[in-house]
Amino acid sequence: MTQLLLLAVTAVGLLAAIPADSLKDPREVHLRNLRQLTTGGKNAEAYFSFAGDMLCFQSSPAGSACDQIFIMDTAGRRLKRISTGHGRTTCAYFLPDGRLLYATTHLADTACPPPPERTAGYVWPIYATYDIVIADTATGAILQRLTMTDGYDAEATVSPRGDRIVFTSARDGDLELYSCNLDGSDLRRLTFTPGYDGGAFFSFDGTEIVYRAHHPTGAELEEYRELLRRQLVRPNHMELFVMNADGTNIRQITRNGAANFAPFFHPDGRRIIFSSNLHDPTRRTFSLYIINKDGTGLKRITYGAAFDGFPMFSPDGKKLLFCSSRGAHRPGEFNIFIADWVDEPDTSPDNPR
């Protein structure tokens, strides 16, 4: 176990955060004291624990074929692999007691599943062998398997109330959102419109859910269904939606025709931070934006990097966690960054920021 941990630390990179304000664009006035928590490989989907002192994330270190799940503290220390090292894993999220949810394919096959076929263009794999498990962060042992149905089960997150899980599943033939108790009981389907509903997060008071969705019609719907039969989706167009935690009162927030994803509520419950390529006519670069949940007040937060995504506010709203390609040493490298969040920045000319 000690050797495995040392290998994991070496592969993911850092043992402590590195100051990274030199990688911050001057226009990023909402960010201060930027620190880089990982270096090398592909590191993404980092999320705070309920106490705000630990982070979970997925990483595909250099030379690794498949993502695995890790935890570390908010200074980039106490790094530990939690997943088994088999199959492909994704979408980790802490439970209130410190246990960890994540999706894994290794229960069906310990081998790494093949990447998507290139003939389909840019697509995401929706592996039917993904199932959601609960793991002990002390030992890495899987304590419970939450899903056992045929088809994709992943993208699970937990209400800050500590009572419900929301996740994406293809169990009924389409990619829809479902919620359940922490032990998997009281399963409820929340969305019913054909298309991909996913990437859901609760508001801090647990009363609402924000998510991304694409609801094609006509020939585009048939293409979506054909790709889904091949366990693929094409994420070129995704808009943001908000609904009540029970699935009622669904409202569309964005209507820009871009790829908007990874939405997360600000602790004030009024604003949503997310990643989008809406600024780029080529649709190849992604930055962070914030918007009111009624669709007004859109504001760009990050600039310069080819990719900024997966933003999450700390429980007290003082920190912003995100994944970025800034400072990467090679194509395809993504690292995890944390910054102090400045809600009302001083933009006067004499402010050094």
Look at residue 9 in the predicted model and tell me its pLDDT. Answer: 40
Which tens digit of pLDDT belongs to each residue from 200-259?
A: 999 999 999 999 999 999 999 999 999 999 999 999 999 999 999 999 999 999 999 999
Residue with tokens 């850092």: 14
Radius of gyration (Cα) for the chain, nearest Å? 19
In whole angstroms, what is the distance from residue 212 CA to residue 245 CA?
15
Across the chain, mean pLDDT equals: 93
Residue 13 has pLDDT above 60, yes or no: no
Look at residue 61 in the predicted model and tell me its pLDDT. Answer: 72
Helix (H, G, I), strand (E, B) or coil at 117: coil
Look at residue 18 in the predicted model and tell me its pLDDT. Answer: 87
Residue 30 has pLDDT above 70, yes or no: yes
In whole angstroms, what is the distance from residue 51 CA to residue 30 CA?
23
What are the structural domain ranges in the chain? 2-341
Residue 301 has pLDDT above 90, yes or no: yes
Residue 271 phi, psi (nearest 5)? -120, 155
Residue 86's closest CA among 58, 66, 57? 66
Residue 261 has pLDDT above 90, yes or no: yes
In this structure, the number of other CB atoms found within 10 A of the CB of residue 246 comes to: 12
Confidence of residue 64 (pLDDT cuts 50, 70, 90): confident
Helix (H, G, I), strand (E, B) or coil at 7: helix
Look at residue 42 in the predicted model and tell me its pLDDT. Answer: 93
Residue 8: which residues within 8 A CB-CB, separation 6 or more? 61, 70, 79, 80, 81
Residue 236's closest CA among 289, 196, 293? 196
Helix (H, G, I), strand (E, B) or coil at 160: coil
Which tens digit of pLDDT belongs to each residue from 115-165?
A: 888 787 899 999 999 999 999 999 999 999 999 999 999 999 999 999 999
Residue 238 phi, psi (nearest 5)? -145, 130
Element (H, E) at 36: strand 31-36
> In CATH, what is the architecture of 2-341?
6 Propeller (2.120)
